[in-house]
Structure 1
């Protein structure tokens, strides 16, 4: 089938939705205004110029009355092929299954491309987000909090990025709530490729969702924009780790604008990846150091027979060097002075602790306790 000969009859209503999505000068806000005035997309494309001009500028009205753009036809064929594969779905704004919480944000997407279980998008969700360049402890926290929240029946939403997102999804998959990955590419692609196996498991057990057209590659501007969907789907947003200029702060800000709760884990005042969380707390985010804190704020019952993990670093194994290290990053010279050990002995013990997963080596010759 020639992509440029796909008709609206062959694609049914989807053809009109795709045609609306690809109209030049029409974003989600203008499209929603048109839908509010004319109903379904079919009504928009059958409206008169004068009627359209009551909602959109003249240039946009003329574009609506023109024949479908070739890109809309080619996308229709590609989408129909994709929909023929098991587990794939497209939700429009008019679908009953479209998540109601997204309808509350100012610019919900016209279309959601879904792989996996679309019903998860309408279940109670908590977003767990944070830095791509996370610390070992931060990634452990993300997995532990996400798993406990998922066992309590909450679906974990995150962005499939490396670092905190990856471990949040892993934790979510271990509980009954499962996980939703909101991605910044077409739903037929996986970015980053290192998360290909994880994405396949999410598609099988949870849900992958994108507002972007099939085949669209990773474009930097897409990722801040997809953050509004992470915030929009969730009842609350938990920030595990974030630097002062982290993209996670965009998601948290949007969550606040949408009336969602924002939670942040505190950390060391010397830790770069705690700066963003501390800034959020200063701005009114709720300081949490256990899953119980999140569940109480949400007025959500804890899972029977499970213990919500407390904040890290509360019960480390006894070791003199760990005691000297404390909970802030520290260099080897300072540790030698604190512990009265020779430098060679300090470095040997640090290596052993690092291999045991109790200490993490940071940039700049610093070390940080993990447990």
Structure 2
């Protein structure tokens, strides 16, 4: 790797310049740390600028954060479920995660496509952001993260001095985190926490909550992670319940309602009535939202015995979601499970095969999580 740095200094020789870029990209493709590779590419950009270094350290983006990223199968699964996003804010974060993951997987065109879709949610027309309060409240934080990521992606596209100068101007225009107020900085920390490796997530989310304790969304993220870390095996902690209750009060959406319901179910019989009331509230407030329909159906199975009436209602909710969002692999998988539970094996097999044809990656993840047999040929 150090040898590539010395090659960068031979910028006056186009052959060596092209060769160096090829070597660095090879490092990216074999999975070396992106931070080191980005550093080399930044060195090359600096060479094009006549030795003037790009000021990139203030950029708030996954490349500087050393964030986690999804596998190809994880990307397929996430893309299949984008329709479940409870808000435009969540939609932006999921697409941003996909953009970064595809970039790490060397699928540059897809990465840029998803990043552009993130930018579109910042446009003033409500058709893009759906009057989402979070997007409106934290537009500067989102813009900082998106601009920073765009700049770091452009580093790999610098081929001459003209590109480098334009990139340097853009990087210089990106406002540093220190210029944002506490609420906006808290939002950046929360975004960073959502993309961080498991061992770092809580640290960044707690930092965001400390800066902006009145924002329910940051508490929701921490409550969600505490819930997931239990794997349904322990009783929810007081902190988890407090965080999810605050999110329910401050940032009510299908997910915050149903996450709280799930934790209450896992508290035991004494909380089942409250949990069931929350499920019904989500289905009443959001009768056409696929998140409410699908997750509400999932929780009904945990609240009551799988009687024919319950199975019929769950089937109705999933079919309603399918009508709204169209064919999705995860919906066909759930319908398959319901058919098997109802003794309709032939129809269940049809749903399984349909799901596999739509998205094999989603099926593989579903099988790994549930143990349900499915053809994988």
Which one has the bigger strand percentage? 1
TM-score by length of 1: 0.30
- Which structure features the higher share of helix residues? 2
